[in-house]
Structure 1
Amino acid sequence: MDASVRTPLLHGQAGHADEGLPTPAAYGQVQDHPAFLRACHSPWRCLPQNALCWIRGGVVAYLTAVGAMILDYKLREKSPYSNWRVVFDFSIVTYSLLLIYHLVVLEYWLLRLSSLPYDMSSLRKQFYFTMFYTVTTVFTFMNTCLYWFVQLPHDDNGNAEPPKPQPSGGSHASSMYEQSLGFEMTRLEDINKGKPHGPFTEIFGEGWFKAFVIINLFLVSTVIALFEIFWLNSIKRPLAVGAHTLGVIFFAGLYLGWAAIGKIETGADAFYWLDQKVIGSREAVVAASIGFVILAPILYALMYGLIGMRESISRAAHSRRVAAAAEAAGH
């Protein structure tokens, strides 16, 4: 077997200093480095392999600890349905994918550091890995968008209590008017006056633990996904854009099938817009489901653009270093 196939990561390779990898396809080669090799390398020189391993290990530890707290919260949450509903919850599915991705990459770095797999050039396996990474990231973005822009406004409207009649108060004029008419006036008073309003009611209205869970499920997870794109890996935009687009559409539809199974088994809907009684009609449920599926390729386009942005920035930084080195050598 060719020794170069099983050499340690980056052993004796310094041709592409900005990513710690030899010259990539962007600089003239047809075949780029395998995606699962790039998943273990940052595009920035300030993050060497050892530092990257510690950072990813910290991310895994954080996701694991917070995941246990999230699971505890979900299982203790008051619900008329079985606890098995948690298995079909989109936020739990998404969070689990994010944790599994980081575990896979960390395990790959730790166990294969000195001996890369002989089949790392397999295009099929690279496609499976990049598809897994893409679906994980897109689902994370979808989870955040659906909560902040769809679920949260609906929850706030649904939890709002109408004003209730209260005694009119101590106004002198109103007291004289009440005495002359022989009855006590009442007025509508907002019983939620003085409490947080808008999205803060749903997030911070029931103590710090619920707020902690919500923020981690629907905000911190996306921050970690963005940090992964810009700092923790150097995975390039896939050439098979169409296949990845169809892939995220397929997996979005597959999740809806999983949610339907959850409805049959537990009676709980994964989203309120999957409940015909809440949303009004079967046609509305179908339209909302189509919107869910369409959201997947839209957010994949966002992910694709973010990776392209990172590539442009890192390529420009590399070009500046090359120019500076050439200028210094000229003197």
Structure 2
Amino acid sequence: MSTEERAPLLSSRQGLPVAFGSSTVQDHPIFLRVCHSPWSCVSQSALVYLRGLIFWYLTGLAGMLFRYKFHYEYPQDDGKSNWCILFEFASLAYLLLWLYHLIAFCWSFTHLFYPDVDEDDRRWESVVLSKMSPPLQTPQSRKRFYFSIFYTVVHVFVFMNSLIYWTVLVPQGYGHFPQGEGGESISTASAEEFFGNGWFEPFCIINLYIGIPLIALFEIFVLNSIKRQVPVPAHVFATGFFLSAYLGWAAFGKLFTGLYPFFWMDPEIMEKTEYIASYVSGFVGLGPTVFAFLYGLIGMRENLTQKDGGDKKHSAQSSSRLEE
């Protein structure tokens, strides 16, 4: 049986296959939906260039963020270990988003320019292109489900990182803004002080906690045609599982570096274990809430692009087939 792994996306009216013995229309693999914008005005070549621009921006920004954290947040003369960076939720969210955009760029690039890669060719160029290409989707494979979980976790982590920073850390005085007089977390004077000491620190903070979520929103609305995640319970469970796994990673970071990534994990600051338990429960419980927000965004984009007809567009550059 052959599968059109790198063919243009089609709507049900344009000949999508129907499952045997069922009237349910088969869907395109999620790997292909990463490589196609839902908007008819965004061509395949424009999509590749946009993905390349975002990926190289994230790569360059990563170097600046690490320099900022090494020299500003965890200076060695302050007795703080640079290894704390590995255990920050913000660092993990950024790394996952960078990895996603690396994968998305590679798949979109090969999908457009090298749709017919000979997987039996052992030359290094063919091997590299084969690894960069979207994976094949066989009926028994669970790759589609695993990548959907990855896509969900990446964007939930990014939105949670920004939400926690602006609604919990900054108001409690644990953000990057200087505390105001009388113990206030932020004042007009402290904000002016934050933006008045050069451009580097504000640039890094604004990118990490505002720019990155905006890139995630742009990804969801413009750069891919991924549908709402199913099954929903599995994605909710996976989100909670990975957030719980992060808490374990953060606890290991305390043993390794002596510092907690979040103030509400520190018994010396919170004083009562009940407070820590409430914050931990809120942290894990926030995941499904943000997933619901993500699910709603995708549904909104699906409704908008149905009017635009984005799923019905044809792409002349990528019309070849791959055989199983």
* Contact 2:40-2:309 at 8 Å conserved across structures: no
If asked which structure has higher relative contact order (CA below 8 Å, sep 6+), I would say 2
Identity percentage over the alignment? 41
Amino acid at match of 1:124: R
Q: Distance in 1 between matches of 2:192 and 2:292?
A: 33
Distance change >3 Å, CA 141–CA 32, structure 1 → 2: same
Distance change >3 Å, CA 22–CA 308, structure 1 → 2: farther
Q: C-alpha offsets along residues 264-313 of structure 1, whole Å, 9 cap, x if unaligned?
A: 10011111111111122222111101100001000000000010001111
**Which 10-residue stretch deviates more, 75-84 or 308-317?**
75-84
1:33 aligns with 2:31: no
1:60 aligns with 2:55: yes
Q: C-alpha offsets along residues 119-147 of structure 1, whole Å, 9 cap, x if unaligned?
A: 35555101110110100000000000000
Structure 1 counterpart of 2:79:
80
1:132 aligns with 2:150: yes
Structure 2 counterpart of 1:179:
none
1:313 aligns with 2:299: no
Amino acid at match of 2:97: L
* Contact 1:24-1:33 at 8 Å conserved across structures: no
Structure 2 counterpart of 1:259:
250
Q: Distance in 2 between matches of 1:290 and 1:24?
A: 44
Normalising by structure 2, we get a TM-score of 0.79
Moved over 6 A (4+): none
**Which 10-residue stretch deviates more, 209-218 or 275-284?**
275-284
Q: CA deviation at 1:238?
A: 1.7
Q: Distance in 2 between matches of 1:59 and 1:24?
A: 34
**Match of 2:40, SS?**
coil
Q: How does 1:1-331 map to 2 (within 5 A)?
A: 2=2, 4-5=3-4, 8-10=6-8, 23=16, 29-77=24-72, 78=75, 79-112=78-111, 113-115=114-116, 117-119=135-137, 123-155=141-173, 159-162=179-182, 196-197=188-189, 200=191, 203-204=194-195, 206-318=197-309
Q: CA deviation at 1:263?
A: 0.6
**Match of 1:155, SS?**
coil
* Contact 1:15-1:22 at 8 Å conserved across structures: yes
Q: Distance in 2 between matches of 1:109 and 1:40?
A: 5
Q: Distance in 2 between matches of 1:87 and 1:136?
A: 17
Give 5+ residue unaligned stretches, structure 2: 117-133, 314-324
* Contact 2:149-2:238 at 8 Å conserved across structures: yes
Give 5+ residue unaligned stretches, structure 1: 164-194, 323-331
* Contact 1:203-1:211 at 8 Å conserved across structures: yes
Q: Distance in 1 between matches of 2:36 and 2:140?
A: 19
Q: CA deviation at 1:205?
A: 5.0
Q: C-alpha offsets along residues 42-79 of structure 1, whole Å, 9 cap, x if unaligned?
A: 00011111100000000001101111100110011234
Distance change >3 Å, CA 92–CA 24, structure 1 → 2: farther
Amino acid at match of 2:246: Y
Q: C-alpha offsets along residues 214-240 of structure 1, whole Å, 9 cap, x if unaligned?
A: 101101010000001100000000220
Distance change >3 Å, CA 128–CA 41, structure 1 → 2: same
Distance change >3 Å, CA 22–CA 99, structure 1 → 2: farther
Q: Distance in 1 between matches of 2:10 and 2:299?
A: 23
Distance change >3 Å, CA 297–CA 123, structure 1 → 2: farther
Q: Distance in 1 between matches of 2:63 and 2:140?
A: 36
CA RMSD in angstroms comes to 2.8
* Contact 2:16-2:25 at 8 Å conserved across structures: no
Q: CA deviation at 1:101?
A: 0.2
